[in-house]
Amino acid sequence: MEAVLLANAAATLFMVGLAWFVGVVHYPLFASVGERDFAAYHALHSRRTTWVVLPMMSVELLSSFALCLDPPGGEAALAIAGALLALGTWALTGAAAVPAHRRLGEGFSDAGLRSLRRADLARAVVWTAHGVVVIALLATQL
């Protein structure tokens, strides 16, 4: 189970850092691309981002649920909280971030970017909470 915990910690903490980088640096720069080039830029961004994010989110989700089967340090509440938080990032992604990206894929708009940034901030907060949980789970092993 140590390997599962380490995989979970690596994936979760990777996503915490990535989420804050994207929200603070990357998405605000969308407005600087220009309307003429935005659709092509956004399509390329979406394809490349999927290759980075999907594997990590999958490892995070699967390992979070695996930790519920044998919670580190017997901390079932923390393991369940981690699994629910991982599930929450998937729900926010599907219900808010993906639709916002679809709208932006049709063409840049300030409203579309605001919608994406709100969804992304919610995900960053949930990922951060999961990061705190996973650090607490790691601490049970020290």
Among candidate residues 139, 113, 123, the one with its CA nearest the CA of residue 57: 123
Q: What is the pLDDT of residues 52-66, one digit of tens each?
A: 999 999 999 999 999
CB 107 within 8 A of CB 44: no
Going by C-beta distance under 8 Å and a sequence separation of 6 or more, which residues neighbour residue 121?
23
Listed by start position, the domains of the chain span: 2-139
Residue 16 tokens, joined: 């915490």
| Statement: the pTM of the whole predicted model exceeds 0.75 | yes
Q: What is the pLDDT of residues 61-81, one digit of tens each?
A: 999 999 999 999 999 999 999
Q: What is the pLDDT of residue 1?
A: 73
